[in-house]
Structure 1
Amino acid sequence: MFSIKVNRKLLPLKICYFLMFACLAPIIGFLPTFARQLGYSFTIYGVSMTIIYLSSTVWTMLVGVLVDKFRVKKKLFTAVLLGMGVASAFFMLVPKVPLDAVVELKCLSETVLTATFASNDQKSPDVKPNVNIGLGNKLMMCKLDCKDTVFYGEKSEECVNWMASANNGTDELYKYKHIDATIELMNRTETTDDSYGFRLLSAQVVGIDAQLSTNCSCPLKSQCRLVCNDEAVMEATKTYRGNVLGLYQFWIFFITLNAYFTMTMLSSTLINPICLDILGDKSVDFGKQKLWASFGWGTFSILIGWIVDLFSYGQREKDYSPIFVSCIILTVLNLIVTTQIEVVEVKKSNKQSMWKTVFGLFAKHYVVIFIAWSAICTFLHAIITHYLFWYMEDMVSAANDQVQLAWLKTLQGLAQGVQCFGGEIPFLFWSGWIIKKAGYVNCMALVLGTMAIRMYLYTVISNPAWIVLIELLNGVSYALGFALKMSYAKTIAPPDTLNTIIACITLFDCIGESLGSLMGGFVFDSYGGVWAFRFFACCSALACCLNVVLNFFGLTRDTTTIVLNIDEKPTKTDENKETCSTVDADHGLKELKPPYSSSSHGLSE
């Protein structure tokens, strides 16, 4: 008869992974598009995330040292989960950037209103709102609020005389503030690629009976706030052209974002060592526990994406409140589950200086290469995490597919679901077997190569629905790499330093994540999504080739020998038993003859 064996010791940990990442998935996945809807550009979002990740490095290192010294993993983890839930609630209170429809009015032989896409606008170079569709030669009634009318070009004596005669010898032109106007969209061939032009057909100054002339003898220009009776025109011209650092809305958003991601980084820094400590000498089974995080991530990405579309149906903007409400509920449930986790607190060793041991470990070339590989993988993964959904929105906007736009969050949630169910879960489950068969260093190169293929495939499709299939590669490019990272860290960590080692790795991962956010935002803003993903695909391919070369010359190692400085001299009995513990990815522990005792290392598979 078929039966299922349940490890009761690991069950609360698996549920905790599920609930924690079910809470993280919708927020991390949809946060870039949420920031876009608030009015922030690629660059502003990318710089904000860079600062946040760099500040998180300090906290992750501090937490790693604290839990190794004071053995408070469970208490600290519970506090971090609570903080994550509180921070997610504050997202619902974040106000939008005050966007205005601002155009430049220029008057010469005819009067033209030009809406230029500012550098801090939230639109990508790949796509602009298609206001041509449905307008044709339609006339639109608008209200203009203009100020600072000035000459552009050379101010000749003829212009001064014309100004005086046109205004009956007064400076009345500068008093024209509120204007009722009739405009039409100009042909795209008459404007530049980075702007829309509207021809002004008639103008009436509010409070004055006489109409303004739509042609001027001298070139004049003015900045005007535009209000029209057409939604497409208003959407195309909305932007914020000031410095966001002067907005209280930005600082509320930044502080909330910083608090949430700090809690997120700390929760990951704590739960992974907790899992490895519970597993003991079975660290290769880490992936089998971590896959429950993928179950939570995938399930709630699909579910919450569909709920957001359902709540937003018929609305011009998406309603993201279901994301934050679900995170609050899941956090409360997770706090209850956390009380049942049996955290293993390893006894402190007085024989060695922890920091001396850690610094000695990071002085080894193969450990440095491993850290660099980890940071590069995180850098590349950050590009996808923060900008893939933004890229999907640009593809849908460029195609002007209203049906796909209405259910875009469902499609994005489905993409994250496939990342987990089709990619992460199988590879996390089999990661231990794959690492044993292929070896750590070969798997490192495989992860980078697959990431290069994945990023390049994004650039050769025209329909974002194909991204759902591409995300199957997430199993190799992310899940296998993450399981490898944790298992390798457990393998090389000297006794009583696992949390510190993982915190050090997380520190460099934070640097990689921050650089990915910064460079990703800049390249996407400057060149668009297609060229950005191609550029980073080439970077990943180059890193893969470099990793293969390092493997060929033996600078990386599957078999790691940890040599620690022992303060105490061994006794005669110990001298006869001295051995050196060596960890091999294929065969586990090996016993090599002197000079060091395996019992002093506490190494495991």
Structure 2
Amino acid sequence: MGLNIDLKLLPMKAHYFLFNAGTGAVVSYMPVYARQLGFSTFVVGTIYSILPILGLISKPLFGVIADRYQRHKLMFVIFIVIAIGAFSSIQFIPPIPKHTQIDYHCSYNEADLKFCPSSMDHCAADLFLQNSNKNITKVYTFDLKCEVKEDWMWNHICKEWDRDENCKRNENNIIHIKSQVKYDDIKKMQEKNDKDCIYFLHPNLTYNDKPVAKSSICPKSSVASNDGSFRLTCTGFVDDSNVMDLIVEPSVNDTKFTSYPQFWFFFAALSISWIAIAVIVSVGDAICFHLLGKRHELYGHQRLWGAIGWGSFALLSGFLVDSFSFSVIFYLMTAALLPDTLVSSCLDFKPNKVSSSIIRDIGRLFRSVRVIVFFLWCISIGVFIGVLWNFLFWYLEDLADQNGDCKSQERIKTLEGLVNSIQSFGGELPFFFISGWFITKIGHVNAMTLVLFVMGIRLICYSLLTNPWWVLPIEFSQGMTFGISYTAMTMYANVVAPSGTSATLQGLVGAIFEGVGVSSGSFICGYLMKAYTGRIAFRIFGVAAICLSFLHYFVHKFLDNFDTKHDYRSAANAIPNDDFQMLEDTDYY
């Protein structure tokens, strides 16, 4: 039997490759890009719990429009162009304003500038200290505004720093000081037995343009507070960009993030791109099944080109981000999606039937208990995939930080690119290729049960990691947890779809999967990671997935026994035949 190429399907294969290449370059990195802009896990979890809800609305809505007016291909191309514009705009969003909080601190006549961030980047601190030792003549100048809270502190400042009879406490309790620190007075955190702070020792001080004598900087112990300390809480700037990069922190917090325009610009651009992707995926799958006709088991042979595109560009983008900057992912996205618009316009799509009542035909499906169980399965698998999509990379970066492995942190984006590459080439590619045969062999229901079980094992394995690089072997499970699950989902939806409603039902299934499942998973995981840790969050989801796999199995066993006992299989309860016979002539790829 020779290998024949169906030319009618080539544009579909090219679309899957180019579209997934373009989105693969940016989508996986958006949560960590949001982190770089200054948003917390809670904020990102909130955003990614809202985005799928937009898909919940847009997928069936535009699916109905496409089926009703038979404008599948036009809608397809328009939303690819929209995705390019929305993603490209994200690179122009400035980061959240940052602030520095430095304590000007005296303890028993020894002065220092002390910086204690909410989360210390130990690798950046070590690198800074190493570079400081290479420049022995460097002097760092701090320009600070400090709050003076106590009367006795004001008295000391007026008497010892200002030495002016008219010196008095001002209304806002703020003073302006300048301080200089030599390179050899920068000490490692370990020397202070405080690994979460950086100390700049023995600073020279200028107040009101007057140098303050070293002996006068700190108050005498008899004047100071009970512990002998003199502490001013300050904000300001340093005349060295490397120091500023080290000591600044985003000023946004989890209660005030909506007050920043950067948040709304980011949320709007991400929302538009998410809606575009949702429509492209659902309408695209409907077009693909239309082109395949009765050969729906060959869907995986088309979709595997998406895995190739995603894996290759995700790997390339990870390496380039580590080598250059985040901007490169937007260039890669544009380079892939622009030709996709041309390829998609060449699809040979000629719809041949319109449903007389799309809403009525779709509504009949909800009379089937098995179809309802299928929708619940879509929600469940969506929850767990949402965790992986939006928080796996964040979890890996946290592991690198906790592990104290600076080499891992230096190449973390390369690791993330390798994760995407293994997911695509080692997982999705082979499983998309065999998905039609595999699902036909064991049945849709058994495949869905197995997907949940493997997902549980995968998530628990993540929770056991101590080194982020050990994530790579786990990623081979992507073939089962996404390759088989996505194929089963789309094939099942295609078979039960009443004639003329394919795009609508694909949109509805995708909306349930993302709008309910991925949204819920993102929100819950964001909360768990903030309240506990990523390790605990992944373990909770893993145990839940295994429990649901057993529940799914026993529910279908009960339905099988019920149907047999009552000899009851109405059209409303009909499900895709789990004994699909493979076509003898399967030489089209």
User: TM-score per shorter chain, which class?
Assistant: 0.7 to 0.9
Q: How many angstroms does 1:132 deviate by?
A: 5.8
Quick check: 1:196 aligned with 2:184? Answer: no
Note the alpha carbon deviations across 1:393-450, whole angstroms, 9 max, x for none: 3333444545444443333212211111111111111112221222222111211111
Moved more, 231-240 or 441-450: 231-240
Which residue of structure 2 aligns with residue 367 of structure 1? 371
> Are the aligned partners of 2:452 and 2:546 in contact in 1 as well (CA < 8 Å)?
yes
* Alignment-derived partner of residue 62 in structure 1: 61
Distance 1:132 1:494, change over 3 A: same
Of 345, 357, 362, which residue of structure 2 is paired with 1:339? 345
Give the letter for the 2:199 counterpart: F
In the TM superposition, what whole-angstrom CA distance separates every residue of 1:356-394 from its partner, at most 9, and x where no partner exists?
A: 332231243222221111112111112111222222233
1:538 positional shift: 1.8
C-alpha distance 286-58 of structure 1, shift in aligned 2 (>3 A): same
Match of 1:225 among 210, 217, 236: 236
Report the Cα offset of residue 79 of structure 1.
0.2
1:540 to 1:223, Cα distance in 2 relative to 1, 3 A: farther
The aligned counterpart of 2:571 is: 563
Instruction: Give the TM-score taking structure 1 as reference length.
Output: 0.82
3-state SS of 2:8 partner: coil
- Cα gap change, 1:230/1:253 in structure 2, threshold over 3 Å: closer, same or farther? closer
Task: Specify the alignment match of 1:603 in structure 2.
Answer: none
Give the residue type in structure 2 aligned to 1:131. A
Aligned residue among 264, 267, 290 for 2:303: 290
Q: How has the CA–CA distance of structure 1 residues 171 and 285 changed in structure 2, closer, same or farther, with 3 Å as cutoff?
A: same
2:168 to 163, 168, 171: 171
Give the Cα–Cα distance (whole angstroms) in 2 for the partners of residues 252 and 385 of structure 1: 22
Q: Residue 479 of structure 1 aligns with which residue?
A: 483
SS of the residue corresponding to residue 554 of structure 2 reads helix
- Structure 2 stretches of 5 or more lacking a match? 583-589
Q: Residues 149 and 223 of structure 1 are in contact (CA less than 8 Å); yes or no, is this contact kept in structure 2?
A: no
Q: Is the 8 A contact 1:111 1:200 kept in 2?
A: yes
Question: Partner of 2:548 in structure 1?
Answer: 543
**Conserved 8 A contact 1:144-1:227:** yes
Secondary structure at the aligned position of 1:179 is classed as: strand
Instruction: Look up the SS of the partner of 2:500 in the other structure.
Output: coil
**Does the CA contact (< 8 Å) of 1:561 and 1:582 recur in 2?**
no
Checking the alignment, whether the CA contact within 8 Å between 1:140 and 1:184 is kept in structure 2 is no
Residue pair 1:440, 1:558 contacting (<8 A) in 2 also: no
Q: Does 1:586 align with 2:575?
A: no
Q: Where does residue 528 of structure 1 map in the other structure?
A: 533
Q: Which residue of 1 aligns with 2:585?
A: none
Instruction: Give secondary structure in 1 for the equivalent of 2:179.
Output: strand
Rounded Cα–Cα distance in structure 2 between residues aligned with 1:65 and 1:23: 26
Q: Relative to structure 1, is the Cα distance of residues 363 and 69 closer, same or farther in structure 2, using a 3 angstrom cutoff?
A: same
Distance (Å, rounded) in 2 between the aligned partners of 1:237 and 1:411: 26
Q: Does 1:24 align with 2:47?
A: no
Deviation of 1:10 (Å) = 0.9
Alignment of 1:441-452 (within 5 A): 441-452=445-456
2:128/2:242 contact within 8 Å kept: no
Structure number with higher helix proportion: 2
Aligned-partner SS, 2:197: strand
> Conserved in 2, the CA contact under 8 Å of 1:106 and 1:220?
yes
Whole-angstrom distance in 2 between the partners of 1:501 and 1:532:
33
Residue deviations 1:580-602, cap 9 Å, x none? Answer: 9774211469xxxxxxxxxxxxx
Deviation at 1:326, TM superposition (A): 1.9
Distance 2:548 2:122 in 1: 34
- When residues 348 and 320 of structure 1 are mapped into structure 2, their CA distance, relative to the original with a 3 A threshold, is same
Match of 2:469, SS state, is helix
2:334 is aligned with 1:328: yes
Q: Offset at 1:233?
A: 7.7
Aligned to 2:473: 469
- Structure 1, residues 212-260: CA drift from partner, whole Å, max 9, x if none? 5234614654242353759478425533246332222222222222221
Q: Tell me which amino acid in the other structure corresponds to 2:466.
A: S
Percentage identity across paired residues of the two chains: 24
Is the alpha carbon distance of 1:414 and 1:217 closer, same or farther for their aligned partners in structure 2, counting shifts above 3 Å?
same
Query: Structure 1, residues 467-490: CA drift from partner, whole Å, max 9, x if none?
Result: 222100000011100000011111
What displacement does 1:176 show? 2.5
- Tell which deviates more after alignment, 163-172 or 554-563: 554-563
Whole-angstrom distance in 1 between the partners of 2:243 and 2:545: 39
Q: 1:133 to 1:327 in 2, by over 3 A?
A: closer
Which structure 2 residues correspond to residues 567-578 of structure 1 after superposition, within 5 A? none
**8 Å contact from structure 1 (residues 362, 368) kept in 2:** yes
Contact 2:21 2:309 in 1 (8 A): yes
Deviation at 1:165, TM superposition (A): 6.0
| Letter of the structure 1 residue corresponding to residue 510 of structure 2 | T
User: Match for 2:390 among 386, 389, 392?
Assistant: 386
Q: 1:416 aligns with which of 413, 417, 420?
A: 420
Structure 1 stretch 472-481 or stretch 456-465: which is displaced more? Answer: 456-465
Correspondent of 2:381 among 361, 377, 380: 377
Alpha carbons of structure 1 residues 272 and 128: separation in structure 2 relative to 1, 3 Å: farther
Task: State the partner residue of 2:587.
Answer: none
Maintained 8 Å contact 1:458/1:530: yes
SS at match of 1:5: coil
1:250 matched to which residue of 2? Answer: 263
Structure 1 position 13, deviation (Å): 0.6
Rounded to whole Å, the distance in 1 between the matches of 2:6 and 2:54 is: 38
Deviation string, structure 1 residues 254-277 (Cα, Å, up to 9, x no partner): 222222122111111210111111
Normalised by the length of structure 2, the TM-score is: 0.84
Query: What are structure 1's unaligned runs of at least 5 residues?
Result: 313-318, 565-579, 590-605
Pair 555,532 (structure 1): closer, same or farther in 2 beyond 3 Å:
farther
- Aligned-residue offset at 1:99: 1.9
Checking the alignment, whether the CA contact within 8 Å between 2:177 and 2:206 is kept in structure 1 is yes
CA contact 1:150–1:222 (8 Å) conserved in 2: no
Distance 1:13 1:129, change over 3 A: same
Residue equivalent to 1:131: 125
Equivalences, count: 552
Report the AA paired with residue 306 of structure 1.
F
Counterpart amino acid of residue 91 in structure 1: I
**Structure 1 position 92, deviation (Å):** 2.6
How has the CA–CA distance of structure 1 residues 520 and 431 changed in structure 2, closer, same or farther, with 3 Å as cutoff?
A: same
TM superposition shift of 1:282: 2.2
Q: Please say if residues 112 and 199 of structure 1, whose CA atoms lie closer than 8 Å, have aligned partners that are also in contact.
A: yes
In the alignment, the residues of structure 1 paired with residue 12 and residue 569 of structure 2 have an alpha-carbon distance, to the nearest angstrom, of 31
Residue type at the aligned position of 1:553: F
Kept in 1, the 8 Å contact 2:112–2:201? The answer is yes
What CA distance in whole angstroms lies between the structure 1 residues aligned with 2:89 and 2:155? 59
SS at match of 1:131: helix
What secondary structure sits across from 2:332 in the alignment? helix
SS of structure 2 residue aligned to 1:146: strand
Q: 1:94/1:26 Cα in 2 relative to 1: closer, same or farther (>3 Å)?
A: same
1:73 aligns with 2:72: yes
RMSD of aligned C-alpha atoms?
3.4
Could you tell me which of 455, 458, 463 is aligned with 1:454?
Answer: 458
Cα displacement (A) at 1:19: 0.7
Quote how far apart the aligned CAs of 1:457 are: 1.6
2:79 maps to a residue whose letter is V
What SS does the corresponding residue of 2:430 show, helix, strand or coil?
Answer: helix
Tell me the distance in 1 between the aligned counterparts of 2:362 and 2:561. Answer: 19
